[in-house]
Amino acid sequence: MERWAGKVAVVTGASVGIGAFIARELVCKGLQVVGLARRVEKIQEIAESLQDSPGKLHPVECDISKEESVIAAFTWIKDHLGPIGILINNAGIAKETSLTEGTLEDWRAVFDVNVFGLCLCTREAVRMMRESKTDAAIIHVNSIAGERVPAVPGFSVYPASKRAVAALAQTLRHELTGTQIRVMTISPGLVATDFMSTFSTFSKEALMAMPSLQPEDVAAAVIYALSTPPYVSVQDIVLRPVGETW
C-alpha cells in the first residue's frame, strides 16, 4: 500500500457501515480520502476521530443519484486535491417492496443509487484518471445477492441492481483496455450493519443469530486488492461468512 500514500481516494456512501470502515482504513494507510454521502456530518465525525492518522478524511456532501451533485463533488476534488487514484463505489440502498405490488418510484430509487449513481461516479473519476495516466483502481462493492438471489421478502429489484453492477464492471474493463486503470469487485454475503435491519421481516435479534461478516472484513478485502502489484488485477472477490447457506 506504500505506493498509494498521499494519493486521492474517493469512497461513496462513507458515512456509515462498510463505507465508513473502508474510509478509515485508507486514511490509516496515508491516503487523502474523500468521503461522499448525503449525511456529511457523520463523515465529519469520523474525520475528527482520525486527526492523528497519516492520511486525512475530507467530507463532501453528495447525493450520487443526482448528476449535478456528483459533478459538483468531483469538481471540488479536482480543484482542491488533484487527480483521483482510487474510486470505491460503495454506496447502495434497498427499498422494502415487491415486484408484484411495488411502485416505479421505489424501484427507480434503488437503480438511481446502485446502478446510475455508480455509473456517474465512475465516469467522473475515469475522466481524471485518464488525464493523470498513472496507476489507478476502481472497486465496486457489490453483493453476493447479485449472483445467488436469496428468498428475502421485500428484496424486489435489489438483487437485479447488484447483478447489473457485475456486468458494468466487465463492460468497464473492456472500455479501459490499454490503460493502467484496474477494475475490481468485492461481493460480500450478509454483513453486520444496519442495512438489513430496515426490513420489517428481520429483527435485530434474528440478524444477530445469522452468520455474518463484519464491515472491517470488507475493508480488509479492499486493502488486499489495492496492495497487489499494478500488473495484477484481482477482478472479483467473494466474501461469505462460514455457515451462510443461501
Listed by start position, the domains of the chain span 2-237
- The pLDDT score that the predictor gives to residue 203 is 63
| d(C-alpha 173, C-alpha 219), whole Å | 22
pTM of the model: 0.94
Q: Which of 58, 158, 215, 219 is catalytic?
A: 158
**DSSP string of 147-161?**
TS----TT-TTHHHH
Tens of pLDDT along the chain (246 residues)? Answer: 899 999 999 999 999 999 999 999 999 999 999 999 999 999 999 999 999 999 999 999 999 999 999 999 999 999 999 999 999 999 999 999 999 999 999 999 999 999 999 999 999 999 999 998 889 999 999 999 999 888 888 889 999 999 999 999 999 999 999 999 999 999 999 888 877 667 666 666 667 778 889 999 999 999 999 999 999 999 999 999 998 877
Report the CATH superfamily, name and number, of domain 2-237: NAD(P)-binding Rossmann-like Domain (3.40.50.720)
- Which letter does DSSP use for residue 2 in this model? G
| d(C-alpha 4, C-alpha 229), whole Å | 11
231 is catalytic: no
Phi-psi group of 11: left, alpha or beta (phi > 0 → left; psi -120 to 50 → alpha; rest → beta): beta
Residue whose grid cell is 495516466: 133
> Hey, which residues does 227 pair with through a beta bridge?
none
- The pLDDT score that the predictor gives to residue 151 is 85
Amino acid 166 reads A
Residue whose grid cell is 476534488: 77
Residue 215 CB contacts under 8 Å (≥ 6 apart), including other chains: 17, 18, 20, 21, 191, 192, 193
